[in-house]
Amino acid sequence: MAMPQNSHSILMAPIISNGGSPARESFRRFFECWLVEQNQQLQELISASSSVAFANSNHPDADAILQPLIDRVVRHYEHYYQAKSRCAEQDVLSMFSPSWRSSLEDAFLWIGGWRPSMAFHLLYSKSGHQLEAQLAELIRGLSTGDLADLSPDQLSRVDKLHQRTITEEKKISEKLGKHQETVADSSTVELSHVMSDMLQNRDVPGNRSLDNIEEQIENTLVSKEEGLQKILKKADELRLRTLKDILNILGLTQAVHFLIAAAELHLRFHDWGKKRDDEVPFQ
């Protein structure tokens, strides 16, 4: 019996597709396996967080149990961006219009993925929920060890990181905006006009051939895709760096709770979107 593929084996396998973009199909299959692995890790995180023995990060064995789990989850995210980068080199446009995402998810994407500043809203929301649920313990001076128990120093560091992340987000958004404007630059406008003339059998200045025009069009589109690839890379680097920086501020148990919230939101939002797509009738 053949062993089921995991996301790593799909990443390393030759990219082969029976239709559409080979890179798109490869990443779609990778993403489906990656989600299965994320769900498995979510169950491990939940199990670790609910364990009485390791609920307190001061427990002598907490580091030995929680740190390897956190490291494994972070490597899973790193694996995702490595695969994404590899496929983007071959078909960056598929990363901006991912067929493996639902319409709901598409509507909330920022440059092919989640907006980095969203991670802070996730942290604040989860902290608020846990604070409300364990207010009695905190009033009694008991440490909960989770996101309800963020210290003033942690909150200050999170706030500073949040502001830096927003600044970097804006810079990348501006780069994308400027690059999008190149669709209407003089060379592209000229090529669109020349091609229209050729399609209508009108004379073309300079007696340029169709092959020559198509070569210029291809070169123009390739340069625009290369620009998108660079911007996507910067966005993905910020996404991964933001995740790691937040985890570095949190304690081990807090990091586990944050990773649980991140995985739950990602998996459930994906499920809700797919369900809505299935329910929308064709007009």
State the residue for tokens 């003339």: 197
HSE, side-chain direction, 13 A CA sphere, residue 18? 0
Contacts for 196 with CB less than 8 Å, ≥ 6 apart = none
Structure tokens given for 6: 């995991």
Task: Give the whole-angstrom CA distance, residue 96 versus residue 88.
Answer: 10
Average pLDDT over residues 255-259: 96
pLDDT digits (tens, 9 = 90+) for 50-84: 874 455 545 666 778 899 999 999 999 999 999 99
- Residue 19: per-residue pLDDT: 45
Q: How far apart are CA 55 and CA 254, in angstroms?
A: 10
pLDDT value, residue 9: 53
Closest CA to 227 of 194, 188, 195, 190: 188
Q: How many angstroms separate the CA atoms of 27 and 65, rounded?
A: 32
Q: How far apart are CA 107 and CA 115, in angstroms?
A: 12
pTM: 0.85
**CA pseudo-torsion sign 141, 144, 148, 150:** positive
pLDDT attached to residue 81: 97
What single DSSP character describes residue 145? -
Place of tokens 């995991």: 6
Q: Which DSSP letter does residue 116 get?
A: T
Q: Give the pLDDT confidence of 100-149 residue by residue, as tens digits.
A: 999 999 999 999 999 999 999 999 999 998 888 776 665 665 556 789 88
Tell me what pLDDT residue 75 has.
Answer: 98
